[in-house]
Amino acid sequence: MTEDTQSTSDRSSLRRKLLGTGLVLLAGFVVLLATAPDGGDSGAPSPDRGRRVVSSTLVSEQLVDAEVRLSGILEADREVRLSAESSGRVVVMGAQALDPVTKGQILLEIDPIPAEIAVRQAQAQVDRTESELALATAQSRRSTSLAEREVLSQSEIDSTESRLGVARAALASARAQLDRALDDRAKRTIRAPFSGVLRSFQPQEGEFVRTGQEVGELVSLDLLTLEVGLTDRDIAWVPQGSTAEVFVEAMPDRVFKGVAQRIARAANADNRKFPVEIEVPNIDRNLRPGMVAQARIELARSTRILAIPREAVLSQLGVTSVFLSEDEPDTDLQRLRQIPIRVRPVP
């Protein structure tokens, strides 16, 4: 088809309805002609050798669903930068850059010996303070019994209760230190927080890493997102949850299904477009972040258009045109008039 003044949404919709055709908007009743070869058998024989026999078609309005086609870049729905949470020397490498990994998989281990020593020391401190608390508790009970018989003075009773409070506080502090030591030991193993692919992973076995040092980047491939921008004319016809068909040049024969999950309430200040984020499931992981993709979104409205067959459109020397059939005054003959048009292939 060819199109003269219809919107991009209308052009896109028509292609789905009329495959292999073009669209052009013409005023009034327009008849489109397909030229037959000179001297052919089409139609009745012409009494005049100078005339050409043609066939014609009357253009009619068609109601089609409106749609838009927009391009964007596929991005990973989740991506995180991995950092070391403890300092030490790398002793185990569980993956390399570009490797696929699963949630919980060990990516690297930092030398655990210092952490193990700290854990044992903290555990010993807990054991000691527990013993001190048990002794202070027993002394407190004896003091209470003696106080009831008025054998101990009030100052001795207060001293015993104070030692009991100190023992309890010491045990709480020792347990907190043990928790920190256990946490540091756990942080010496970096695991994948979710399944995906290591976009980058720099450490090497034997390398010393410091707390907070970035060691790699993990991206998820199970769900990708495609952000496109809609005009203010189209955004009102795309409700949240609208389905989309996604195409990529690398796989022209495949159609991926997507859903418009997030729709902006305000336009981008730079291009005045409303961002729409389409989620595209990628179960077989054939899609990759960074691929250029095109999304086709059906709008929640229809439009009327005038359509003509592609065969009626002529293109010669860079000029595109169609023929109109008009009545010849005072005769029963038809006159052909060639009209140039601007061709816009439906996306």
332 in the same domain as 290: no
CA distance 135 to 128: 11
Task: Enter the tokens of residue 261.
Answer: 């999950």
pLDDT of residue 47: 54
Residue ranges making up the domain that contains 96: 80-107+191-219
199 in the same domain as 103: yes
Tell whether 50 is covered by a domain.
Answer: yes
Reported as a single tens digit per residue, the pLDDT across 110-158 is 999 999 999 999 999 999 999 999 998 888 887 777 766 666 667 777 7
pLDDT of residue 17: 39
291 in the same domain as 240: yes
Tell whether 87 is covered by a domain.
Answer: yes
Residue 331 in this model has a pLDDT that exceeds 90? no
CA distance 337 to 248: 42
> Which whole-number Å values give the CA distances from 63 to 17, 182, 199, 242, 319, in the listed order?
10, 69, 48, 21, 29
| Nearest by Cα to 312 from 59, 124, 125, 76 | 59
Reported as a single tens digit per residue, the pLDDT across 52-87 is 666 777 777 776 667 889 999 999 999 999 999 999
Task: Enter the tokens of residue 200.
Answer: 């980058």
Please tell me which residue, 340 or 273, carries the higher pLDDT value: 273
Please tell me which residue, 57 or 297, carries the higher pLDDT value: 297
- Confidence at 315, pLDDT banded by 50, 70, 90: confident
- Confidence at 288, pLDDT banded by 50, 70, 90: very high
287 in the same domain as 232: yes
- Confidence at 305, pLDDT banded by 50, 70, 90: low
pLDDT of residue 299: 87
181 in the same domain as 125: yes
Tell whether 162 is covered by a domain.
Answer: yes
Reported as a single tens digit per residue, the pLDDT across 23-35 is 333 333 344 433 3
- Can you give the CATH number for the domain in which 196 is found? 2.40.50.100
CA distance 21 to 1: 4
When the pLDDT of each residue in the chain is averaged and rounded to a whole number, the result is 82
295 in the same domain as 233: yes
260 in the same domain as 323: no
84 in the same domain as 198: yes
Q: State the pairing for strand pair 243-248/223-230.
A: unpaired
Ramachandran region of residue 150, left (φ > 0), alpha (ψ -120 to 50) or beta?
left
CB proximity list for 231: less than 8 A, separation 6 or greater: 272, 273, 274
CB proximity list for 126: less than 8 A, separation 6 or greater: 171, 174, 175, 177, 178
Tell whether 297 is covered by a domain.
Answer: yes
Which residue has 């089409």 as its token pair? Answer: 42
225 in the same domain as 215: no
Which residue has 């459109």 as its token pair? Answer: 313
Reported as a single tens digit per residue, the pLDDT across 201-220 is 999 999 999 999 999 999 99
Averaged pLDDT, 262-273 = 92
196 in the same domain as 162: no
164 in the same domain as 55: no
Residue 165 in this model has a pLDDT that exceeds 70? yes
pLDDT of residue 177: 96
21 in the same domain as 144: no
* CB 327, CB 314: distance < 8 Å: no
* The total number of structural domains that make up the chain: 4
Tell whether 70 is covered by a domain.
Answer: no
Please tell me which residue, 227 or 305, carries the higher pLDDT value: 227
Tell whether 157 is covered by a domain.
Answer: yes
| Residues of the chain by 3-state class (helix, strand, coil), percent to 5 | 25, 40, 35
CA distance 222 to 41: 61
Tell whether 123 is covered by a domain.
Answer: yes
Task: Enter the tokens of residue 188.
Answer: 């010496």
Please tell me which residue, 25 or 252, carries the higher pLDDT value: 252
CA distance 119 to 179: 8
CB-hemisphere CA count at 13 Å for 231?
10
Averaged pLDDT, 261-285 = 94
State what percent of residues in the chain have pLDDT above 90: 54
Residue 347 in this model has a pLDDT that exceeds 70? no
